[in-house]
Copies of this chain bind each other. A is one copy, B any other.
Amino acid sequence: MNLNNYNSEDKVLLAVDCIIFGFDGEDLKILLIKRNFEPERGKWSLIGGFLKREETLHDAASRILNYLTGLDHIYMEQFYSFSEVNRDPGERTVSVSYYALINIEDHNEQLNKEFSAEWFSVSEMPNLIFDHNQMVDMAIKRLRYRASTKPIGFELLPEKFTMKQLQKLYESILNTKLDKRNFISKINGLDILIRLDEKETESSKRGSYLHTFDKEKYSKKTNEGFVFKI
Q: Which residues from chain A sit less than 8 Å from chain B, CB to CB?
A: 1-4, 6, 9-14, 35, 37-38, 48-58, 63-64, 67, 78, 80-81, 83-85, 90-94, 96
Q: Which of chain B's residues have a CB closer than 8 A to the CB of A83?
A: 51, 56-58, 96
Closest to A39 in B: B4
How far apart sit A14 and B67, CA to CA, in the bound complex (Å)?
26
Q: Which of chain B's residues have a CB closer than 8 A to the CB of A81?
A: 57, 78, 81, 96
Establish whether residues A84 and B67, one from each chain, have CB atoms under 8 Å apart when the complex forms: no
Q: Which of chain B's residues have a CB closer than 8 A to the CB of A50?
A: 3, 9-10
Q: Which of chain B's residues have a CB closer than 8 A to the CB of A38?
A: 4
27 residue pairs A–B, Cβ–Cβ below 8 Å: A1-B49, A1-B63, A1-B64, A2-B37, A3-B35, A3-B50, A4-B38, A6-B13, A6-B91, A9-B13, A10-B50, A10-B51, A11-B11, A11-B12, A11-B13, A12-B12, A12-B14, A12-B51, A14-B14, A14-B94, A51-B94, A53-B92, A56-B84, A57-B83, A57-B94, A78-B80, A83-B96
How far apart sit A227 and B37, CA to CA, in the bound complex (Å)?
44
Q: Which of chain B's residues have a CB closer than 8 A to the CB of A35?
A: 3
**How distant is A165 from chain B, measured CB to nearest CB, in Å?**
30
- 8 Å CB contact of A10 from B52, B56, B58: B52
Closest to A58 in B: B83
Q: Which 6 A-B pairs have the closest CB atoms?
A: A4-B37, A11-B11, A57-B83, A9-B50, A10-B53, A56-B83
How far apart sit A1 and B63, CA to CA, in the bound complex (Å)?
10
How far apart sit A4 and B49, CA to CA, in the bound complex (Å)?
10
How far apart sit A3 and B4, CA to CA, in the bound complex (Å)?
33
How far apart sit A37 and B84, CA to CA, in the bound complex (Å)?
31
